[in-house]
Structure 1
Amino acid sequence: MDTFEYISASHRVVFGTGTLQQLPSMLKTINATSVLILCTPQQIATAQQVQSIIGHDVGVAIFSDATMHTPTHITDAAVLVAQEKGVDGIVSVGGGSTVGLGKAISIRTGLKHLCIPTTYAGSEMTPILGETENGRKTTRRDIRIIPTSVLYDTDLFKTLPVNLTVYSGINAIAHAVEALYATNRNPIIELLALEGTRSLVEALPVLQTDDQNTEARYKALYGAWLCGMCLGSVDMALHHKLCHTLGGTFNLPHAETHVVLLPHALAYNASTPATAGAMAKLAGVLPGSEGDAVKGMNALYKRLGIDLNLKGLGMAEEGVDEAVDIALANPYKNPRGLEREGIRELIRRAWTGEEAGRDTKRLL
C-alpha cells in the first residue's frame, strides 16, 4: 500500500445558482469593509453589478486593466490604486487573468482576496501565481497566495461564449490530467481528478449545442472546481510548464494554449511505463478511448470540433526551438524525462496542429 501526504488549503467556498447575492455576507465573514474590485476591460459590466450589490461605500473603486499572464507593471498600478483608496480587501471578478491579478496584489499587500470566477480556469483554487516581466513568465507556490474565499455562481456563466466555454473547460481538464500522474499524487486528488474530468466531458458537448442548459452549466462548473483543487494540491508537470513558457514568452492566449498542448503532452508522458496506471484510469472517463487515454482525448477534441494550433495562435516557427531551450533551462518533475528531441517534436506538432499519438516514432 502506498504512503502519501494530503495537504488541504483552508478557504471558504460558496457554490450554486444565484449565490452572487450572498456577496455582502461573505465580505462580512472575512471582515472586508472596503474593497477594490478587479476585472478586465471586457467585464466592467459584471464588476459594476458586483459594486451595486455590495454598495459603493464597500466597493469603493473598480480597476479594469487586468490582463493575461499577470504583467508586473499592471500589478504595480493596481497596488497603487488599492493604497490610495485605503481598502482592506479585493474582489476579483473574471477568469484566470483577473484572479491572477488578485493573487499578485494579495501576496504583495496582505489584503484579503475574494474571488468570483466567470470561467473554468480554476486559478481560484490554487496557491500558485504566474507573473510576467520582460517577456518571461515565472511561477511560484505559496499558501498565502490562495484566495481567502471563492464564490461560484452558475448564473455568471450564461453569457460565456461557447468557444470560451469549451477552451476554458479543456484548460480545467488539463489540471486533472497532470494530477493523475504527479509525483506527489494521492488517492484523494485522484478521485477529484477523475470526477472533475468526467463532469466536464459530459457537460461540454451539451453546452456546445445548448449553452443555456442549466444542468450542464452546473456540472461544468462543479467539474472545474474539482479540477482546480487538483492543480492546487500537487506538482505541475510538462503540460503546465510548457504552457507557461509559451504563454509568457510569445504572449499566447492562456486557455487556447492549454487546449493545443494537452493532447501532445499527454502523448509524450503516455509513452513511459510510469504513467500506465494513471493513463488507464483517465481512459476510463474518456468516451471513445478504447482503453487508450490519448485516443480518448483525440476523440473528445473531434467531438467538440477543436482545431487549434500554435501557429494559428500567433507563434512564429522559429519560436519552436526557443521554447525548447526555455523549457529545458529550468528542470522540473515529470514522469518521463525531459528529452530535447522529444520535447521539440511535441512543440512542433502542436505548432502545426497534427494529431497527438504515442505511436509517433520521433517522440519515442
Structure 2
Amino acid sequence: MRFDHRTLAQRVRFGTGGATAAVAAEVADRGARAVMLVAGPGEAEIAAQVAEGIELAVDWGEVTPHVPAGLAERARVAARGAGVDLVVSVGGGSTTGLAKAIALTEHIPIVAVPTTYAGSEATNVWGITTDSRKTTGVDDAVLPACVVYDAELTLSLPIDLTVASGLNALAHCVDSMWAPNSDPIDRALAEEGIRTTASALLELVGDGSDLAARERMLFGAYVSAVAFASAGSGLHHKICHVLGGAYDLPHAATHTVVLPHVLAFNAPAAPEAETRIARALGATGAVSGLRALYERLPVAGSLAELGYDLAAVPESVELVLPLVPAGNPRAVDRDALTRILTAAWSGDHI
C-alpha cells in the first residue's frame, strides 16, 4: 500500500441547539472586529438567530446559485470597504460558495454555518459562473476555518430538498471512490458517508422532524465532503458543474438525477468501488442498491423534469469532454457522454 494523503486543517463545532453560542465563541477566539454575515433571503431569520451574539459590519443578503461573477465582485467590494476580517455564512451551498468567492481574493477567514447537507463547508473547492460557464478551482484560502453544525437549523428544510441535498452528499462519496487523488483513506470515509447518509435519509422521509437523524445526516455530509476534498472532483461532478453553470439547473437535484447514470457507467470497471458502495447500501450491487434507495425517496427522475432540453446534449458533451478527469475507471468519449446525458435526460437506465 502506497499513497500520499493530505488532511485539511479545519475546526468543527458540532452540537444541536448551539449554533449561536458557537459562532459567538469563534468570533471572540479570533478577535474579529468587523464581521460580514452572508445569508440569502430564505435563511434571513435563521441567520439573525445565529448572529445574535455578535456585532456585524456588513449584513449581506444577496445570494444566487452557482455564484455569478458580478455578485462575487459586489460582495468583495462591500467586504473590502468595511474592512471585514471574518465572514460568517449561514445557508446552503450557494451561500457558502459566495463566502468562498470573497475569501478567494480577499483572504478573509470563513465561519460556515450550514443549513443543508451540501458539504461545501468542508472543502477547499470554489466555483464562479461567468457568461453561463462555471469555473471551479482548488485553493486553501477558501476552506472555512471553522464549521458550526447545528441540526436544529435544518428543520425548516423541506423533505424534497432534504433528500436532494442528502443525495448530493452521497454523490461526493461515489465520486471520491475514483476521483484523480482517491486513496484508501478517502474510500473508507466515502463508504461510511454512503452508509450514514442513506440510512439517515430513509429515517427523515419517515419523520422529517427527527433531530437524531438530522444529526447523522450532517455528520454524513461532513465525512462525505472531507473525502471529496481529498480525492478531488470526478466525472460526476464535472458533468454536474457544467450542467448547473450552463443551463442554470438546480444544484442538488441535478446531482441526484445524474448520479445513477455515472455510477452505472463506471461501476463495472471499478470493482473495489462497486463492492464498497454496495456494502454501504446493504445491497448485492452498487447500481441496484442505489436504484433501490431512490425508489424509497421522493426524487426527480430525469433532467427533463429539471428543465434540461434534449437538444442541449451535443453542446453539453463538448463542454464536459475537456474536463473529464484523468484516471476515470472507463475511457470517456463523446459517445459515452452522449449516452450518459441522454439517459439522465429521459431517466432511463444507461
Give the TM-score normalised by the residue count of structure 1. Answer: 0.93
Aligned residue number for residue 7 of structure 1: 6
**What whole-Å deviation, never above 9, does each CA across 1:156-185 have from its counterpart, x for those lacking one?**
011111111100000000001111223422
CA distance in 1: counterparts of 2:9 and 2:244, whole angstroms: 30
Deviation at 1:254, TM superposition (A): 0.3
Structure-2 residue corresponding to 1:25:
25
For residues 322-345 of structure 1, the C-alpha deviation after alignment (integer angstroms, 9 at most, x for no partner) is 110111133422221112111101
1:230 to 227, 230, 234: 227
From 71, 90, 102, the equivalent of 1:74 is 71
The one of 132, 139, 144 aligned to 1:142: 139
Cα distance, 1:248 vs. partner?
0.3
1:174 partnered with 2:171: yes
State the partner residue of 2:295. Answer: 302
Q: Could you tell me how far apart the structure 2 residues matched to 1:24 and 1:67 are?
A: 26
Q: 2:341 aligns with which of 341, 347, 350?
A: 347
Runs of 4+ in 1 over 4 A off after TM superposition: none
Q: CA RMSD in A?
A: 1.3
- In structure 2, the CA distance between the partners of 1:4 and 1:255, relative to structure 1 (3 Å rule), is same
Shift of 1:45: 1.1
Show the counterpart of 1:205: 202
Equivalent position amino acid for 2:100 in 1: K
Matches of 2:31 and 2:329, distance apart in 1: 43
- Over residues 71-97 of structure 1, what are the superposed CA-to-partner deviations in whole Å (9 max), with x where a residue is unaligned? 111111111211222221111100000
Q: Which runs of 5+ in 1 are unaligned?
A: none
Residue 102 of structure 1: SS of its match in structure 2?
Answer: helix
Provide the C-alpha distance between the structure 2 equivalents of 1:305 and 1:12, rounded to a whole number of angstroms: 34
Task: Return the offset for 1:27.
Answer: 1.1
Q: Which residue of 1 aligns with 2:53?
A: 53
In the TM superposition, residue 143 of structure 1 has moved relative to its aligned partner by 1.7
Aligned to 1:284: 279
Question: Aligned partners of 1:187 and 1:234: how far apart in 2?
Answer: 10
| Percent of pairs with identical residues | 39
- In the TM superposition, residue 109 of structure 1 has moved relative to its aligned partner by 0.4
Say whether the 8 Å CA contact 1:32–1:112 is kept in structure 2: no
Q: 1-side partners of 2:71 and 2:301: how far apart?
A: 29
Q: Which moved more, 1:333-342 or 1:104-113?
A: 333-342
Cα deviation for residue 250 of structure 1 reads 0.2
Q: Which residue of 1 aligns with 2:331?
A: 337
Q: Which residue of 1 aligns with 2:243?
A: 246
The count of corresponding residues between Structure 1 and Structure 2 is 348
Indicate if the aligned counterparts of 2:179 and 2:325 stay in contact, CA closer than 8 A. Answer: no
2:238–2:323: 8 Å Cα contact kept in structure 1? no
Contact 1:72 1:133 in 2 (8 A): yes
Letter of the structure 1 residue corresponding to residue 345 of structure 2: W
Out of 173, 192, 200, the position equivalent to 2:189 is 192
Q: Equivalent residue for 1:215?
A: 212
Aligned to 1:38: 38
Asked if the contact 1:182/1:335 (under 8 Å) is kept, the reply is no
Which of 64, 83, 90 is residue 93 of structure 1 equivalent to?
A: 90
Single out whichever of 307-316 and 172-181 deviates more from structure 2: 307-316
Mapped to 1, the partners of 2:51 and 2:4 lie a distance apart of 41
What is the alpha-carbon distance in structure 2 between the residues aligned to residue 330 and residue 8 of structure 1? 25
Quote the Cα distance in structure 2 between the aligned partners of 1:230 and 1:150.
Answer: 16
CA distance in 2, matches of 1:163, 1:32: 37
Asked if the contact 2:89–2:96 (Cα under 8 Å) also holds between the matched residues in 1, the reply is yes
Runs of at least 5 residues in structure 2 that lack an aligned partner in the other structure: none
- Which residue identity lines up with residue 6 of structure 2 in the other structure? I
1:256 aligned onto 2:249:
no
Whole-Å Cα distance in 2 between the matches of residues 255 and 31 of structure 1? 35
- The answer to whether the aligner puts 1:16 opposite 2:15 as a matched pair is yes
Give SS of 2:51's match: helix
Superposition deviation, residue 237 in structure 1: 1.1
Cα distance in structure 2, aligned partners of 1:51 and 1:276:
47
Query: C-alpha separation between the residues in 1 aligned to 2:312 and 2:332?
Result: 18
Matches of 1:307 and 1:248 in 2, distance apart? 19
